Structures are given as C-alpha cells and as structure tokens.
Chain A
Amino acid sequence: MSGIVRYARWQAWDFAVDRGRPSLVVIALFWLQAWIALRGAPAGGAADGRAQLAALVLAQMVPLLGFVLALFAINGIVSADRTSGAFRLLLGKPVSAAAYYGQAFALHGLGAVVMGAVFLLGFALVAAPLQPVGALTYFALYYLLLGGLGFAMSTVARFDWASTAALWVGSIMVRSMLPVDRRWWSAVVDVVLPPTHALSAAGDALLAGAMPSLADAARVLGYGALAAGFAVVRLRRRPFDE
C-alpha cells in the first residue's frame, strides 16, 4: 500500500472537519423544515396522509440538498491548495497531483453520500420512515455529475464553486429555452451542457422507487466521468503552478 493510499484517512478526516460540519448545519435546517412541514399531519390509516406528505417533502428536499452537499464536497478541492500554496509541501512528496486529488474526489463523494444518509436517518425520525436506497442513489448521482464538473472547474479556475454553480444554473436556464424542434445547434448545446434534465428525470424515478431509464443514467454517469477524467488528465499533464 503506497503513501497516498495510507493518506486517505487524513483526507477523510479533512472532509469531516472542513466540509462535514457545515453540511450538518444545512442538514439540520432541512430537518427543521421537514418537521415544520409535517407537524400535525395525521399518521396511520389505509391512506397514510403523513407518509404521503413526507414523500412529497422528501422529493422536494433531496434535489436541493444533493446540490448543496455536492457543492460543499467539491468546493476548492484543487484550487484551494493552489491558491494558498499548500500544494508545495504535499507534492514534494513522492505522490502525483492526479492521484492525490483524484483520491480526494472519490473520498469527498463518499462523504457526500454519508451526509445524505445522515439526512435521511434524521428525516425518518422527524418525519416518516422511508426507503433510503433511491434517495441515496440520487445523492450519489448528484455528486458524480455536479462533483465531477466542480472537480474539472477546480483544476482550471480559482472561483470554482461559483463557476460550477453558475454553469449548473445556466445550463438549466439554457435547456429551458432550447427550441422544441431539434435543430443541429440545439443538439450540440444539449450534448455539451451538463445533463441536468437527465439527472432530474433519474432522480424522480429513484425517489418514486423505480429504476431510472438507462439513457438518463448513462448520460449522468458519462458526463460526470468525463468531467472528472478531464480533471485527472489535466492534473497529470499540466504543471500544477502554471
């Protein structure tokens, strides 16, 4: 086992302290919101009103929280070390930037999903019991797509979280304006922009307890993997301080 693999526990600890704690604050706010929305809702009976309302609230919360958790997890993953100069001592050791930050990307993804699980556990306690697999998968897909994009942005820009969020929101807006009849340029724009619509469709299916369509899942996974791959190749090929 090499030094970089052994270093994973320190990276996991950094995630917990630097990103896990603020994530927990946001999660607590979501719990509070869920508790407010569901207080007084009747439980039990053939049509369990409370469970139905909880499912609705969860469907509203998971995409929003997925966005926040992914952004918290990926923010400054490369750019913070580059800006501060902390990379100098780290990369003086026998370790490649691609391996170091690639491992951080993977661990932060795991951390984001764990944070999602914490949210779901609390939600089950304050709102209603739920089946967590679909929502957890949604959190994972969110991280793969938005996190992959953020990882790529972090290798090229300093204000990576802002540029990632802007690209994400901009993508949603541009997609809503694309013409219905498929012209060649709108097909290009559709492929180039992050597949936010495919993520939403896959997420809706997962939260409903169904399997997402293969096309949606493939687009999300493919785009996220391509973005993360771009980041790794850039870290591998381009001098870190250029």
Chain B
Amino acid sequence: MIALDGVSKRYRSPFGRTTAALSDLDLRASAGEVVGVAGPNGAGKSTLIGLLLGFLAPTDGSLTIEGLPPRRWIERHGVGYVPEAPVIPPRWTLEAAVLRYATLADVPAAERPARRDAAIARLGLEEHRRKRIRHLSKGTRQRTALAQALVRRERLYVFDEPAGGLDPLWTIAFRETVAALRAPDVLVLIASHDLDELERTADRVLILHHGRLRGEVHLGERGRDGSRLRLVMHAGAALVPEIIVGARQIAADAFEVPAGDPEALNAALAALIARGGRIASLESLRSTLEQSFRDLVREEPPRE
C-alpha cells in the first residue's frame, strides 16, 4: 500500500545550511498491518509522517500510496490522522468540531449526527461535547482528535504520538481502538516514543535514528504476549541450554527462555537448581523491542 524508495528529505535554512531529516529510506507497508515507527527525538518520525500525508515533498526518491502521490491519494480517499499536537480552532465546540470533520470527510448528511455521537461516546467525551476546544484539557483535546479520525472507516490511519496526552485508562482504550481497526484492507501506522505501547499494538516496528532506518523489529505473537523470560544465572550457566528447552543465550550468564506452562517451567528450574545451578534473577522479558531499540540506536551518541 505504501512504498518508499530511496526517500530523503533535507531542510535548507535561509542561510543555506542543509539538515538531513531523512536519508535514503526504503519501506513497504501493506494493508492488514499495524506498523510502528520508533526513534529518539529528531530521528525523522514527524518528517516521515509529513511526507506520507503529502504536507512535505521528498528531496530525493519516491513515495507512493497505492501507486499515487500521497496528496492525490488522500484527496481521493482520506486518512484517519491524529497529529502529535492536534490543533483544532479553539472557538469550536467539541461536537461541532467532530461534525465539521465528518462533513469534510464526506460522511452522508443523514449519518453524520449518529457517527458524531458514536465517535464522541467511544472516546468518552459526552460530558465535554458542548464545551469549546479552548476549555478542554490536553488529554481531552487528544481524544477529540481521535474521535474525528474515527468518524468514518478509513483504509489508512496515521497516529503520531497518539497516547501522548492520554491517561493510563485512555491509553488502554487507545490500544483497544487500534485492535478494533485491524482489518485486511486497513493499514495503521503509529509513530511513538512509547516502546511499550508500540510493542503492544504493532506487528512490526521500524526504528529510525538520525534520519536513517536502523532496523525493523518483527514482534508477532511473541512480542505481544510477553511470553518470554530473562534468566540470569549466578552459577551453572552452561546447564541452562541442556535443561530448559528453547533457551537462547543472550549474554555470558543470561538467557531468554520461554515462559510456557508454569508447571513445566518450575520443573525445569528445580532441575537446574538440583544440578548445582544458581539463579541470580528471573524476570519477564516483555520488551524485546526495547532491547532491539537500544542495540540499534546506541552505537551513536545523541546529536543534542
């Protein structure tokens, strides 16, 4: 659905100084996927989204959505987009804002009030619906932006730091929303600093650093169900691969082991101890992504 080939974006200051925001980026993303984009500040995430929405043009390379330039595709189909800091004119009321965006999204007039009400209810915004945007908290504004993105079923959703202003309850609700958006003909793209959130929602995460694609982490079921453990041995590390089936050595004394069935795990650990092994720690290895992120971005110090 989305194809980037050798895409670069450089900004030029009025004094002629050039800054590379993205360099030589190749990427494919297909309908049916939830794709995360992670990276430190200044990695190029927002530039990538600006390019995807056609608000920016690549300096080099090509970027298409289903073979069309992004702007033309969006003008034809629309996109469910939530920016990092959504700006809605402060004079509008919340319900008028959602209705306006539904109008622009070409929702039929007869369906518009019902769609607006459903989106407002889904995001728990009923008590705020008559308030002006200027009187809403940051989190409520963020939910309003989410409501306008959900007012119509789209084939492409782009969320830029979507959980930024949300409290933990609404962060969970956002996760459920993304799960509900999953469909064979829908692509969801989420750019976020929050690796935990990406790990829970995305199928794969692209890691950007200094404007380059440093790697891609396929999370699949393993990443999302948190079913691996990190086992660190105090003594007897050599026994681990022999006793625990599926153990993978990740350091001299550390292993990634499947959590699996608790009975089998306890039996294996008992056997390990019985043969002289000594466990230093055992913890849930939820963040495969975090480890990969560290590995991929640590070789260079931050620019700032």
A interface residues with partner B (beta carbon < 8 Å):
2-4, 6-7, 10, 17-18, 84-96, 239-242
> Distance (Å) between the CB of A63 and the closest chain B CB?
32
Chain B residues closer than 8 Å to A96, beta-carbon distance: 71, 75
The number of inter-chain residue pairs (CB within 8 angstroms) is 83
B103 interfacial contact with A, CB 8 Å: yes
Contact of A6 among B75, B79, B109, B158 (CB under 8 A): B109
Mask of B150-163 contacts with A, CB within 8 angstroms, 1/0: 00000000100000
- In the complex, are the beta carbons of B104 and A84 less than 8 A apart? no
Mask of B209-233 contacts with A, CB within 8 angstroms, 1/0: 0000000000000000000000000
With A94-B75, A94-B76 in contact, do A88 and B55 touch (Cβ < 8 Å)? Answer: yes
Contact of B88 among A10, A86, A240 (CB under 8 A): A86
In the complex, residue of chain B having the shortest beta-carbon distance to the beta carbon of A99: B75
Chain B residues within 8 Å of chain A by Cβ, number: 34
The 7 tightest CB contacts between A and B, nearest first, are: A3-B106, A92-B81, A94-B78, A241-B55, A93-B104, A85-B87, A239-B57
> Distance (Å) between the CB of A85 and the closest chain B CB?
4
Chain B residues closer than 8 Å to A242, beta-carbon distance: 55-57
- In the complex, are the beta carbons of B145 and A89 less than 8 A apart? yes
- In the complex, are the beta carbons of A86 and B89 less than 8 A apart? yes
CA distance A93 to B151 in the complex (A): 11
- In the complex, are the beta carbons of B104 and A240 less than 8 A apart? no
CA distance A241 to B89 in the complex (A): 18
**Chain A binding surface, main DSSP class:** loop
Contact of B81 among A7, A89, A239, A240 (CB under 8 A): A89
- In the complex, are the beta carbons of B55 and A3 less than 8 A apart? no
CA distance A98 to B54 in the complex (A): 14
> Distance (Å) between the CB of A34 and the closest chain B CB?
32
B85 interfacial contact with A, CB 8 Å: yes
Determine which residue in B57, B74, B106, B145 has the highest number of CB atoms from chain A within 10 A of its CB, and name it.
B106
In the complex, residue of chain A having the shortest beta-carbon distance to the beta carbon of B78: A94
Contact of B79 among A3, A87, A92 (CB under 8 A): A92
